[in-house]
Amino acid sequence: MSTVQKRKKATNNSNEIVSDDDKNRKNILKKESSQPNDSIGLIILKGILTLIIINFAASYFLTETWIWGYEGKYTNWRNWIPRKEIIFTEEELAKYDGSDPNLPIYIAMNGEVFDVTGGEMYYGKGGGYNFFAGKDASRAYVTGCFQTHLTHDLRGLTPQQIEDLNNWASFYRDHHTYYKVGRVVHPPIDPNSPIPPPCKDASSQKS
């Protein structure tokens, strides 16, 4: 091999070494440049977690609850359980009137059925509102006639009374203990049947 050829080969080898060194430097620079980004992301994550912990701690310290005293449907774990809506007949719904301790207690309002077992002291046997259990007594909620208006018949009610009934339904939908389980299907009301008469003294019928 001539001297010129030897020099060319040496030059090529040195170029290859330099090329490998460049690659190594680039890889090192990439790793170094990615480290600050990873660190920043970790710092942000730690900051968010710290703020969340401080928020819960402050809430418990000031209100003795973890979420600033809020109680509603979002804190009711039963609303997070997927369930199939149950369809009741009036006869089936009547079984859940609190008389059987092995069954939950249901009430209905404008066709919607709610589980109120959490309020057993009110809706259970002997409770002050037990007359609502096992039936759709929508009319009584807005008239206060707890003896003669325990019916779903809403004929003759004013728009304001209908709005009041919707507010009652929202109360049960958004409750932190009660929750919706299904609907009750009522037979059609005979339009020729008499409308439930008004109470003479609704206040005297309240429990």
Half-sphere exposure of 50 (CA within 13 A, CB side): 6
Distance between CA atoms of 207 and 192, rounded to whole angstroms? Answer: 32
- pLDDT tens across 102-148, in order? 999 999 999 999 999 999 999 999 999 999 999 999 999 999 999 89
* Listed range (18-22, 43-47, 93-97, 150-154) with the worst mean pLDDT: 18-22
**Can you tell me the distance from the alpha carbon of 129 to that of 145, in angstroms, rounded to the nearest whole number?**
12
| More confidently predicted of 51 and 86 | 86
End-to-end Cα separation, the chain, in angstroms: 116
Residue type for 177, please?
Answer: T
Q: Residue 148 and residue 70: Cα distance in Å, rounded? A: 37
User: In whole angstroms, what is the distance from residue 33 CA to residue 37 CA?
Assistant: 7
**How many residues appear in the chain?**
207
pLDDT in tens, 156-199: 999 999 999 999 999 999 898 999 999 999 999 999 999 999 88
Is a pLDDT exceeding 50 seen at residue 202?
no
* pLDDT at residue 58, as a whole number: 67
